[in-house]
Amino acid sequence: MRKFSGWTLLKEAFGGQQGWTPQWRRVAPQPEYDAIIIGGGGHGLAAAYYLASEHGITRTAVLEKGWIGGGNTGRNTTIIRSNYLFDESAALYDHALKLWEGLSQVLNYNVMFSPRGVMMLAHTVHDVQVAKRHIHANRGNGVDNEWLSPEEAKAYCPPLNIERNIRYPVLGAALQRRGGTARHDAVAWGYARAADALGVDIIENCEVTGLVRDGSGAMEAVQTSRGLIRCRRVGVSAAGNTSVVLGLAGVRLPLESFPLQALVSEPVKPVVPCVVMSGSIHAYISQSDKGELVIGAGTDAYTSYTQRGALHVNSHTLSAVCELFPAFRRMRMLRNWGGIVDVTPDRSPIIARTPVPGLYVNCGWGTGGFKATPGSGHLLAWTMARDEPHPINAPFTIERFRDGHLIDEAAAAAVAH
């Protein structure tokens, strides 16, 4: 990469003459990139890909402090669905789901999207009412969702225990058949490869440590662990760390960061044909193509930036899983891990401009941003390219926490947080 500073341009203009003393005018240093994305997770890489592919902004760099996909993208339980309650959310998450449906073809990379159905269990009369409200709202928005009796739920997922005398009896379930899973790290690699092919620079081991603003307050450059990089359009997609990164520009957001964890079992033959979730008991389960049961737990009760959670949270989840799936009681768990999720007061994300001209943010996906990866990248790219939101992300502003236009999706979040 060729680096231009003001002085090198002047020197070049004078043929690099010896003894020449610059004295009349300094040429403004040129930005090295037209766009920078901070954070090489699925969201950041997708944004870079769409900046290049849909907006022709190929002089783009993704700066990642570790390795691409090493954050929540490579740590989540890969559940994809769009059965959220409010119109704004249905539009947002179904936009993403539609992109998932063609993603392997678009990227020419198998992201292993598997629409095997997501079943959300109801254990109380209140759960049943909430699930049915979601089903009606989803259908009104053209999003598929249907109610299953306990027997129908068991037919869809045979190992499920529908005995009525257990601690969390299954009173029915909401099923979104178009929902499912994908291979999480393949999503990061697929977007990275496609973006790279369009000219995007992906720079790993490059932590952003400062956001530099010009005299008018607009973005001018980012300071990194590998030096200063000039760019006047910067998107932050640094899940879990957003408040730290935006704090570098003096922007405060209503975000809290929590550890969220998951675990996998030893691999077994195919036994769980779909995704099963229970928000009431903080448990969700599916089976990976390798055969491991993929099990997710709730968030820790305390804010933290550590990428691991408290053991008792897993124990609580596993005891509930054993009750719902007695056949899994003797299985061994192979490993557990955690990620940091950043959570907004209404459990909906922010994809928006910030008060700093040239600085944009995509954050607040909490426990549920994997499903949004293609959609969020697409919308962040749009917002950065045009300096205005796409109609789909227009409601997901920072200002809504001041003006009260909240989009409260706590009940759809599926993992209490």
Q: Could you tell me the smallest distance in angstroms from the CB atom of residue 121 to ligand PYC?
A: 13
In sequence order, what are the residues at sequence separation of 6 or more whose Cβ sits closer than 8 angstroms to the Cβ of residue 329? 322
Nearer to ligand FAD, 8 or 223 (CB): 223
Q: Residue 139 phi/psi, 5° resolution?
A: -60, -40
Distance of CA 320 to the CA centre of its chain: 27
Nearer to ligand FAD, 60 or 150 (CB): 60
Site for ligand FAD in 38-77 (CB under 6 A): 38-44, 63-66, 70-73, 75-77
Decide: is 122 part of the binding site for ligand FAD (CB under 6 A).
no
Q: Taking a C-beta distance cutoff of 8 angstroms, is the pair 43, 144 a contact?
A: no
Decide: is 145 part of the binding site for ligand FAD (CB under 6 A).
no
Of residues 144, 152, 204, 207, which one binds ligand FAD by CB under 6 A?
Answer: 207
Q: Could you tell me the smallest distance in angstroms from the CB atom of residue 206 to ligand FAD?
A: 6
Nearer to ligand FAD, 171 or 219 (CB): 219
Reduced 3-state DSSP string for the chain: CCCCCHHHHHHHHCCCCCCCCCCCCCCCCCCCCCEEEECCCHHHHHHHHHHHHHHCCCCEEEECCCCCCCCHHHCCCCEECCCCCCHHHHHHHHHHHHHHHHHHHHHCCCCCCECCCEEEEECCHHHHHHHHHHHHHHHHCCCCCEEECHHHHHHHCCCCCCCCCCCCCCCEEEEECCCEECCHHHHHHHHHHHHHHCCCEEECCCCEEEEEECCCCCEEEEEECCEEEECCCEEECCCCCHHHHHHCCCCCCCCEEEEEEEEEEEECCCCCCCEEEECCCCEEEEECCCCEEEEEEEECCCCCCCCCCCHHHHHHHHHHHHHHCHHHCCCCEEEEEEEEEEECCCCCCEEEECCCCCEEEEECEHHHCHHHHHHHHHHHHHHHHHCCCCCCCCCCCCCHHHHCCCCCCCCCCCCCC
* Strands 333-343 vs 180-181: parallel, antiparallel or unpaired: unpaired
Of 5, 36, 30, give the one whose Cα is nearest residue 249: 36
Decide: is 276 part of the binding site for ligand PYC (CB under 6 A).
no
Binding mask 359-388 for ligand FAD (x = CB under 6 A): ------x-xxxxx-----------------
Site for ligand FAD in 219-238 (CB under 6 A): 237-238
Site for ligand FAD in 244-263 (CB under 6 A): 245, 260-262
Decide: is 367 part of the binding site for ligand PYC (CB under 6 A).
yes
The pair of structure tokens assigned to 7 is 């002085």
Nearer to ligand FAD, 371 or 378 (CB): 371
Binding mask 273-312 for ligand FAD (x = CB under 6 A): -----------------------x----------------
- Residue 414 interacting partner from ligand PYC, ligand FAD, none (CB closer than 5 to 8 Å by kind): ligand PYC
Decide: is 341 part of the binding site for ligand FAD (CB under 6 A).
yes
Contacting range for ligand PYC; rule: CB under 6 A; set: 75-83, 85-93, 244-252, 345-353: 75-83
Decide: is 373 part of the binding site for ligand PYC (CB under 6 A).
no
- Residue 63 interacting partner from ligand FAD, ligand PYC, none (CB closer than 5 to 8 Å by kind): ligand FAD
- Residue 71 interacting partner from ligand FAD, ligand PYC, none (CB closer than 5 to 8 Å by kind): ligand FAD
Q: Round to whole Å and give the CA distance between 406 and 177.
A: 28
Decide: is 77 part of the binding site for ligand PYC (CB under 6 A).
yes
Contacting range for ligand PYC; rule: CB under 6 A; set: 35-43, 74-82, 212-220, 381-389: 74-82
Decide: is 284 part of the binding site for ligand PYC (CB under 6 A).
yes
Decide: is 415 part of the binding site for ligand PYC (CB under 6 A).
yes
Residue nearest to ligand PYC (CB): 368
Q: Could you tell me the smallest distance in angstroms from the CB atom of residue 104 to ligand PYC?
A: 21
C-beta neighbour count of 315 within 10 angstroms: 11
Nearer to ligand PYC, 231 or 413 (CB): 413
Q: Round to whole Å and give the CA distance between 376 and 362.
A: 8
Decide: is 96 part of the binding site for ligand FAD (CB under 6 A).
no
Site residues for ligand PYC per CB under 6 A: 77, 79, 81, 284, 296, 367-368, 414-415
Site residues for ligand FAD per CB under 6 A: 38-44, 63-66, 70-73, 75-79, 207-208, 237-241, 245, 260-262, 296, 339, 341, 365, 367-371
